[in-house]
Amino acid sequence: MSGFDADVIVVGAGFAGLSAAEALVSAGSEVLVLEARNRVGGRVASDRFADGVRFDTGGQFICDEMHEVMALVHRLGFPVFDTPMDGAFQVQPAGAGEARYNFAESGRIRTRANRIDPRDPSIAGLTVEAWLARQSDPSGAKVGYQAMVEGLWCRSISEIPLWYVIDNDRRTTSNGNELQYSVDGTMHAVAEALAALLGSRVRLGMPVARIVRGNGSVAVTTGNDEVFKARQVIVAVPPVMASRIGHEPALPAPLAEALGAWRSGTVIKALVEYERPFWRDAGWSGMVMWRDVLGLFACDVSSGHASALVVFAGGPLAVDWSGKGEDFIRSEMLRRLAAAFDSAAETPVDFQMRDWVGDRWSGGGYSDVITDLSACDAETLIRAGAPPVHFASSELSSSFPAYVEGAIVAGREAAARVLAFLQER
Ligand SMILES: Cc1cc2nc3c(=O)[nH]c(=O)nc-3n(C[C@H](O)[C@H](O)[C@H](O)COP(=O)(O)OP(=O)(O)OC[C@H]3O[C@@H](n4cnc5c(N)ncnc54)[C@H](O)[C@@H]3O)c2cc1C
């Protein structure tokens, strides 16, 4: 390996980067993973309640249909626990105009949308909002569909192309089962265990600022001006973050434009710990959606270690609340949980939240979203990359994009492309 620090440098130690690195190491390649943060996991992160119980502040839920992440979690020895779902589901505020928010009918809109070919010329250039306006469904059904899109894709429906949502949603094949399990010990601990298999190949505190493509080699410069050389590079960071890395020579214009077609999602995740799951006393499952604000959702994540609810605020709501600060978010969430269940909700044992809006190294969450209405080829162009520079992130996955499963798949897909180049030598 004369003159090279590794066969392959992987930029980013989220699940995409770690999975790519593991696949490359298994195939016999020398790998170096450069991660900007002082921890691995990226959009999978964790914290602890005051009593020491660890919980996920980022990616958490998995399900049987997510074959790769399920296999990984089992291989690394982590048990999973079921998301408690017994009991009634609520739409809040109760009784306030059911017509304004109709789930069953909004599900039918989703099914109808997903039957459209994303390349159908009749939807070219249409945002979700523009397409929805043309539908003859009752307004409650439309608002429900809007809440679903803004809650999952975490941007306003006035920005998201319909073809993008359809194309993305078709690759998520779990039939609404995504909340099935959590990892006992946290998904973040799974990322740490995966990184531990890679040992000293993972270097933290290494923000990559510039990539120089040469003849048969590539030089990667960090913000600390350290330079590493390799034969190939996988940039395993979300597209918006990838677009901020400098390239020499400049990336081909179509690829640079493809990376510029995305915006970061916006989400806030809160974990609220209670003495006991009191909501079950009245027959509630803990699962709540709100009709007066779109993109707000709560569910029970109690395990053998803690009784807790998780609350997500996504999309425009997250941006609004993020601007109002943590005290506002806490009191607003607790007030709403109390209205849904019982005044006991206002006195939790602990309340912890992570505001991902504008996050330094991921830009937001759950995922980046294409907002350029004409960028239908963006994913294909990014997947093709500019060898020896390749790209991977959950967004680019052939299955479950925007999920941990998607990150693992995207990482391994990129590793396969890189191995093909290495074998050509
Ligand atoms: C609040 C929240 C809840 C979620 N819930 C779920 C869930 O329940 N289930 C699920 O499956 N998914 C969930 N997701 C989505 C899931 O976490 C992500 O899709 C997945 O973790 C993305 O992995 P990735 O490797 O593609 O990207 P990332 O995790 O973002 O990893 C990229 C890495 O690159 C690093 N990086 C960025 N720029 C640079 C640079 N210039 N130099 C070096 N390093 C850099 C970052 O620090 C990061 O570590 C959630 C996400 C969030 C934010």
257 and 116 part of one domain: no
Q: Would residue 284 count as lying in a domain?
A: no
162 and 191 part of one domain: no
Residue 103 has pLDDT above 80, yes or no: no
158 and 14 part of one domain: no
Dihedral sign for Cα 337, 342, 346, 349, please: negative
The single-letter code of the amino acid at 375 is A
Show Cβ contacts of residue 87 under 8 Å, excluding neighbours closer than 6 positions: 279, 280, 283, 284, 285, 286
257 and 113 part of one domain: no
**Contact (CB, 8 A) for 269 and 121:** no
Residue whose pair of structure tokens reads 């493509």 in the numeric block: 213
Residue nearest to atom 36 of ligand 1 (CA): 12
Q: Is the CB of 17 under 6 A from ligand 1?
A: yes
Q: Is the CB of 207 under 6 A from ligand 1?
A: yes
Confidence of residue 99 (pLDDT cuts 50, 70, 90): low
Q: Would residue 331 count as lying in a domain?
A: no
Residue 424 has pLDDT above 90, yes or no: no
Q: Which of 113, 138, 170 is the last residue of a domain?
A: 170
Q: Would residue 334 count as lying in a domain?
A: no
pLDDT of residue 176: 75
Q: Would residue 307 count as lying in a domain?
A: no
Q: Would residue 413 count as lying in a domain?
A: yes
- 168-205: per-residue pLDDT in tens? 999 998 877 899 999 999 999 999 999 999 999 999 99
pLDDT of residue 98: 52
Q: Which of 120, 137, 170 is the last residue of a domain?
A: 170
Q: Would residue 109 count as lying in a domain?
A: yes
195 and 248 part of one domain: yes
Q: Is the CB of 14 under 6 A from ligand 1?
A: yes
Cα of 217 vs centre of ligand 1, distance in Å, is 28
Q: Which of 142, 170, 198 is the last residue of a domain?
A: 170
Nearest to 161 by CA among 195, 203, 118: 118
Distance (Å) of CA 355 to CA 237, 292, 316, 325, 405: 19, 21, 13, 9, 23
Give me the number of domains the chain comprises: 2
Mutate to test the pocket of ligand 1, among 10, 37, 44 (most ligand atoms within 8 A of CB): 44
Distance (Å) of CA 133 to CA 128, 138, 139: 9, 11, 10
Cα of 58 vs centre of ligand 1, distance in Å, is 8
pLDDT of residue 2: 64
Confidence of residue 1 (pLDDT cuts 50, 70, 90): low
256 and 377 part of one domain: yes
Using the 8-state DSSP alphabet, how is residue 83 labeled?
A: P
Q: Is the CB of 181 under 6 A from ligand 1?
A: no
User: Average pLDDT for residues 284-294, to the nearest whole number?
Assistant: 93
User: Average pLDDT for residues 351-359, to the nearest whole number?
Assistant: 97
Q: Is the CB of 61 under 6 A from ligand 1?
A: yes
Q: Is the CB of 392 under 6 A from ligand 1?
A: no
Which ligand 1 atom sits closest to the C-alpha of 364?
53
Cα of 281 vs centre of ligand 1, distance in Å, is 36
25 and 159 part of one domain: no
Cα of 44 vs centre of ligand 1, distance in Å, is 6
Residue 298 has pLDDT above 90, yes or no: yes
Residue nearest to atom 2 of ligand 1 (CA): 58
Quote the percentage of the chain above a pLDDT of 90.
90
Mutate to test the pocket of ligand 1, among 37, 55, 66, 237 (most ligand atoms within 8 A of CB): 237
Cα of 363 vs centre of ligand 1, distance in Å, is 10
Give dist(CA 354, CA 269) in Å, integer: 5
Cα of 95 vs centre of ligand 1, distance in Å, is 38
Give dist(CA 320, CA 328) in Å, integer: 11
159 and 216 part of one domain: no
Q: Would residue 148 count as lying in a domain?
A: yes
pLDDT of residue 356: 98
152 and 197 part of one domain: no
Q: Would residue 382 count as lying in a domain?
A: yes
For residue 241, the enclosing domain spans 6-42+187-261+372-424
Structure tokens at 150: 């803004």
Structure tokens at 346: 């206002």
Task: Indicate the average pLDDT of the chain.
Answer: 95
pLDDT of residue 284: 96
For 26-152, strand residue ranges (E) read 31-34, 46-48, 54-56, 80-82, 88-92
User: Average pLDDT for residues 194-221, to the nearest whole number?
Assistant: 96
Residue nearest to atom 34 of ligand 1 (CA): 12
Q: Is the CB of 265 under 6 A from ligand 1?
A: no
- 135-148: per-residue pLDDT in tens? 999 988 999 899 99
155 and 196 part of one domain: no
CATH number at residue 252: 3.50.50.60
391 and 246 part of one domain: yes
pLDDT of residue 105: 83
Instruction: Region of 153 please: left (phi>0), alpha (psi -120 to 50) or beta.
Output: alpha
Which ligand 1 atom sits closest to the C-alpha of 401?
19
The single-letter code of the amino acid at 104 is A
Cα of 189 vs centre of ligand 1, distance in Å, is 14
Q: Is the CB of 267 under 6 A from ligand 1?
A: yes
151 and 199 part of one domain: no
Residue whose pair of structure tokens reads 């918006």 in the numeric block: 240
Which ligand 1 atom sits closest to the C-alpha of 400?
11
